[in-house]
Amino acid sequence: MPKQGSAPAARAALSRRSALAGATAVLLSAGCGGGSGASSGGSTQTSGVTITVALAGDPLPQAALDTFTQDTGITVKWVNLDWDSLQTKISAAATANTYFADATNVDWSRVGQLGRLGWFYPMESYLDTDAMAEDVPQLASFSTDGHVVGIPYDASFMVTTINVDMFTAAGVDPAPATIEEYTEALRQIKARGIVEHPLNIPFAAAEGLSTYWYETTAAFGGSVLDENGEAQFTDPDSGGYRAAEWMVGALTEGLVAPGSINVTDSQGQQTLMAQGQVASTFSDYSGTVGTLYDVPASSTVVGKVRYLPTPGVDGPAANLSNPDGIGIPKQAKYPDAAAKFIEWFTSQQQQTDFAGVNGPEKAYTGYPIPSRLSAVQAMTSGGNLVQGDALIPMLEKSRPVFEGGAPTWYPEFSNAVYTNLHAAATGSMSVQAAMEGVADKAEQLASGS
């Protein structure tokens, strides 16, 4: 999923535009062979080589990279690109069959597309992914057609966050467990004037709106698409339809600020939630309490926000995962060396180090939650994961947005989701029309027409 939290939409727009020009030139000059997914036949050398690792994040601590180099003889050149630019570069390099990086981002939302395109080496050829599966529950999100496209390195999943002070001030105790109780609690907060608009929903026509709807759909007991890619949300009693109605209704009712129409998820977190302007975000990102809301420099609600088991129809609902992974593009110069890096990067030992369990000098700040359960448990017992006790059960029960991986046409589908939901929120179309519009698009894409 496009991590707008780490790559704000504005920055993304700038990078998109420049990337558009650059990548188009690359594609055009390269002849654009139509995405053969052909391997460049990289070297099997695993020592004395330099590999390029391109991810949307700051470089790893130099000491950790130095240790890796000493142990393996592989030098790592780290390239930090925002998420959108990274996706454009991956597409451009693969289509033009040119080298870009030895290891790079594999996002959950592109697994189906990347699997079909064959742009990445199957990771089961390099690592024992079967053995890894138990400790890395989100590995399922990276599997398609029997192949593992990438290895998840963080455990991002959607969670509900609440400002406890505001809920308590409204007399909401205990915390709501169902969506009905949750909605009533928000009404209480509004009625008592604690905040005018207690709920945060980023209604801007961007990816964050789609993922918010997926999580809300799951909370209403529904799913978005079945295994054949058929829409599961056109029936007014379906989870998806009710989720859309609930979201748009919250805006109409005034639980959500009118200005949220133009708010992206990152803005929603950083401005509305972190500045105490809302009481809750129904579909927030795991780790935001420790990395944003409890950071005095970026928050006025330090110590006041906690994770709430996501309220469902009859009790806590599942949390959908949207993790980031890392894989090896077929144009890699040193795929075997890249595999060694990925094995090291996603190992339990390194994840524990990056999480700061073994000292701040080994910590990797852009790394909220490891993908390995064992690392998360070590983090929690060491007191290094804020509210880890609340997060671990959610992580254990987290499930992919799309069972069997995101469809190949996910980006176009998501575009239809967020543009139609946005239109429904502005009042320019009904919820029913929005759901039908999305369903039509899904049908069209699934049928290949």
Partner 1 sequence: MTSTSQAPRTPGATGGAGTAAGKATATGRRRLDLLPYLLVAPVALFIICLALVPAVFTVVQSFFRVSALDPPTRFDGLGNFTRLLRNDAVVSSLVNTGFYVLVGVTLSTLLGVAIAVVLQRPFRGRSLVIAVAILPWALPGVVEGILWSGIFDPSSGLINSLVASLHLGSGDTLLLGQHRLLTIALIELVQVWQITPLSALLILAALQLIPAELYEAAQIDGCSRWSAFWRITLPLARPGIAVAMVQAAIATLNVFDQPYVLNGAADTGASVMMQTYFISFQNLDFGQGYALSLLITLTTLVISFAVVRLVYRKVEL
| Chain residues that interact with partner 1, rule: CB under 8 A | 9-11, 13-14, 16-17, 19-20, 23-25, 27-29, 31-36, 87-88, 91-92, 94-95, 113, 116-117, 204-206, 257-259, 261-262, 264, 408-409, 411-412, 415, 418-419, 422-423, 426-428
Residue from 268, 286, 213 nearest 245 by CA: 213
- Kindly state the smallest distance separating residue 295's Cβ from partner 1, in Å: 22
d(C-alpha 275, C-alpha 195), whole Å: 12
Residues 6 or more apart whose Cβ sits within 8 Å of residue 427: none
Q: Which CB sits closer to partner 1, 162 or 416?
A: 416
- Kindly state the smallest distance separating residue 95's Cβ from partner 1, in Å: 6
Q: Which CB sits closer to partner 1, 236 or 259?
A: 259
Q: Which CB sits closer to partner 1, 94 or 132?
A: 94
Q: Which CB sits closer to partner 1, 25 or 63?
A: 25
d(C-alpha 17, C-alpha 289), whole Å: 32
- Kindly state the smallest distance separating residue 345's Cβ from partner 1, in Å: 27
Distances (CA, A) of 84 to 16, 235, 282, 296: 7, 34, 25, 29
* Amino acid sitting at position 118: G
Structure tokens at 53: 């690792």
Distances (CA, A) of 328 to 123, 209, 446: 8, 30, 28
Q: Which CB sits closer to partner 1, 372 or 441?
A: 441
- Kindly state the smallest distance separating residue 111's Cβ from partner 1, in Å: 14
Q: Which CB sits closer to partner 1, 197 or 242?
A: 197
Strands (E), 67-119: 74-80, 103-107
For the chain, what percentages of helix, strand and coil (3-state, to nearest 5) are there?
Answer: 50, 15, 40
d(C-alpha 89, C-alpha 26), whole Å: 10
* Amino acid sitting at position 386: V
d(C-alpha 318, C-alpha 219), whole Å: 7
- Kindly state the smallest distance separating residue 261's Cβ from partner 1, in Å: 5
- Kindly state the smallest distance separating residue 402's Cβ from partner 1, in Å: 17
Helix axes 62-72, 335-345, angle to 10 degrees: 130
Q: Which CB sits closer to partner 1, 390 or 445?
A: 445
Contact between 219 and 317 under an 8 Å Cβ cutoff? The reply is yes
- Kindly state the smallest distance separating residue 444's Cβ from partner 1, in Å: 11
Q: Which CB sits closer to partner 1, 110 or 306?
A: 110
- Kindly state the smallest distance separating residue 88's Cβ from partner 1, in Å: 5
Q: Which CB sits closer to partner 1, 50 or 428?
A: 428
Distances (CA, A) of 92 to 11, 70, 96, 158, 312: 20, 33, 6, 30, 41
Read off φ and ψ for residue 358, nearest 5 degrees.
Answer: -105, 30
Q: Which CB sits closer to partner 1, 24 or 50?
A: 24
Alpha carbon dihedral 338, 340, 345, 349, in 10-degree steps, equals: 180
Read off φ and ψ for residue 148, nearest 5 degrees.
Answer: -100, 115
Q: Would you tell me how many other CB atoms lie within 10 Å of the CB of residue 259?
A: 11
- Kindly state the smallest distance separating residue 258's Cβ from partner 1, in Å: 5
- Kindly state the smallest distance separating residue 315's Cβ from partner 1, in Å: 34
Q: Which CB sits closer to partner 1, 9 or 159?
A: 9
- Kindly state the smallest distance separating residue 26's Cβ from partner 1, in Å: 10
Left (φ > 0), alpha (ψ -120 to 50) or beta: where does 427 sit? left
